[in-house]
Amino acid sequence: MWRDPDKATDDPTRWLWTCTVLTTTAQDAAGQIHDRSPLVLPDDLLADWLDPKVTDRESVREMIKSVPAPVLTPYPVSKAVNNVRNNRPDLLTPIGPA
């Protein structure tokens, strides 16, 4: 969440909710399903990652290189996950054997 600097300080729509999903080459079991995997930042890198003073590309590249590979465990889910109109908690429920 961040404040839009172009809007008045008392404007309730000044706060914007945004997110970004960074991906990297899959190095764990998820790589058997897809060649990309989410970049999962460890807690000790969050402050550095969110520091607005860090703008140097090389610093950001080094930070990304220091992120350990995630340990993700894939499991089968309903084919309903393939439709972006579906957004229900049961889509996370495993089906069949892992």
Task: State pLDDT tens for residues 47-93.
Answer: 998 898 999 999 999 998 888 887 888 889 999 999 999 999 999 99
Q: Kindly state whether residue 85 falls inside one of the protein's structural domains.
A: no
Q: Kindly state whether residue 86 falls inside one of the protein's structural domains.
A: no
pLDDT band (50, 70, 90) for residue 8: very high
CA dist 22 and 37 (Å) reads: 8
Q: Running DSSP on this structure, what letter comes out for residue 53?
A: T
For the chain, the domain total comes to 1
Q: Global pTM?
A: 0.56
Q: Which residues pair with 24 in a beta bridge?
A: 37
Q: For residue 38, which phi and psi values (nearest 5 degrees)?
A: -65, 145
Number of C-beta neighbours around residue 6 at 10 A? 7
Does 34 have pLDDT greater than 90?
Answer: no
Residue ranges making up the domain that contains 22: 2-73
Q: Kindly state whether residue 61 falls inside one of the protein's structural domains.
A: yes
Does 98 have pLDDT greater than 60?
Answer: no
CA dist 97 and 90 (Å) reads: 17
Helices (H), 1-98: 43-50, 57-65
